[in-house]
């Protein structure tokens, strides 16, 4: 899953692809590098970030999705917590909603996804982006996240979404300490509730910087290590900034695993 952030303030590429033309160009580049799907987001969820208005998020993502939907064959995901943005994104050509709130923030979101026959990525987050890193704590991080993902998946199924359209994401960096992120990666396969695939989004995140003492621009090798070991632990989808390098590393790792 290649990341395209149409934002001024995302933690790694904020501002680079804020214009529609640049965002579309970036998405096409990621597809050329081997991305199997593209995730378009118009609201930063970095720690401490504040929400943007619905109108602003729509203005950022819908033109990009419309342009891409007309020229690419890979699925398009929209990273949003707002049902009206999701509705517009699905109408514009997206087929997956990636909700970092785990479908908690907007009660209309399940209805929108079900009605459109879309896929859903359910992610775990402790709190909100604005406060999620304010002293997060778990007694058993794997068990607690797994229970949350199971509960939210069951609520989507009860709302009418077929289970086979759901992907589960334990939410690396979203209300997690360094040790929590490492434990999640080590036990990635355990989040595959009911056999649903696990998505990992560890690319260039701050826990890698904390281990290596490196800024975000120099975290590629650490990101590749996290992806490879998460694959070995059972993860099957990876949300990344660096598609070509990650795909090559995962291809070799998969050959060894197989």
**Cα 140 from Cα 67, distance rounded (Å):** 44
Which tens digit of pLDDT belongs to each residue from 195-206? Answer: 999 999 999 999
Q: Residue 217, Cα to own-chain centre: how many angstroms?
A: 19
pLDDT at 10 over 70: no
> Cβ–Cβ contacts within 10 Å for residue 25, how many?
13
pLDDT digits (tens, 9 = 90+) for 39-57: 999 998 878 778 899 999 9
Helix (H) or strand (E) holding 63: helix 54-69
Q: Is the pLDDT of residue 145 over 90?
A: yes
Total Cβ atoms within 10 A of residue 124: 26
**pLDDT tens column, 158-185:** 999 999 999 999 999 999 999 999 999 9
The residue whose two tokens read 């160009």 is 25
Give the active site residues: 205, 239
Q: Which pLDDT value is given to residue 50?
A: 80
CATH number of domain containing 34: 3.20.20.20
- Categorize the per-residue pLDDT at 11 as very low, low, confident or very high, splitting at 50, 70 and 90: low
Range of the domain at 189: 2-257
d(CA 169, CA 235): 9
**Would you say 153 and 168 are in contact if contact means Cβ atoms under 8 Å apart?**
yes
Q: Considering its fold, how many domains does the chain have in total?
A: 1
Cα distances from 257 to residues 19, 138, 186, 195, in angstroms, run 41, 31, 15, 19
Does the structure show a pLDDT above 60 at 14?
no
pLDDT value of residue 45: 85
């Amino acid at each position: 899953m290649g990341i395209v952030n149409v934002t001024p303030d995302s933690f790694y590429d904020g501002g680079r692809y804020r214009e529609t033309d640049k965002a579309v160009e970036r998405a096409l580049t990621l597809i050329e590098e081997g991305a199997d799907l593209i995730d378009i987001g118009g609201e930063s969820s970095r720690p401490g970030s504040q929400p943007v208005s619905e109108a602003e998020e729509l203005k950022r993502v819908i033109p990009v999705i419309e342009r891409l939907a007309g020229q690419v064959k890979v699925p398009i995901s929209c990273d949003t917590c707002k049902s009206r943005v999701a509705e517009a994104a699905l109408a514009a050509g997206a087929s997956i909603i990636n909700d970092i709130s785990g479908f908690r923030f907007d009660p209309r979101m399940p209805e929108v996804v079900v009605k459109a026959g879309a896929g859903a990525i359910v992610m775990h987050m402790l709190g909100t982006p604005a406060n999620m890193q304010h002293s997060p704590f778990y007694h058993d991080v794997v068990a607690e996240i797994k229970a949350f993902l199971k509960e939210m998946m069951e609520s989507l199924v009860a709302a009418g979404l077929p289970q086979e359209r759901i992907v589960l994401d334990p939410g690396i960096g979203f209300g997690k300490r360094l040790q929590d992120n490492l434990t999640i990666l080590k036990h990635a396969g355990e989040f595959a509730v009911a056999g649903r695939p696990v998505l990992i989004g560890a690319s260039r995140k701050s826990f890698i910087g904390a281990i290596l003492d490196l800024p975000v621009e120099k975290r590629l090798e650490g990101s590749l290590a996290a992806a490879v070991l998460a694959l070995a632990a059972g993860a099957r989808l990876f949300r990344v900034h660096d598609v070509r390098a990650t795909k090559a590393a995962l291809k070799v790792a998969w050959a060894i695993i197989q």
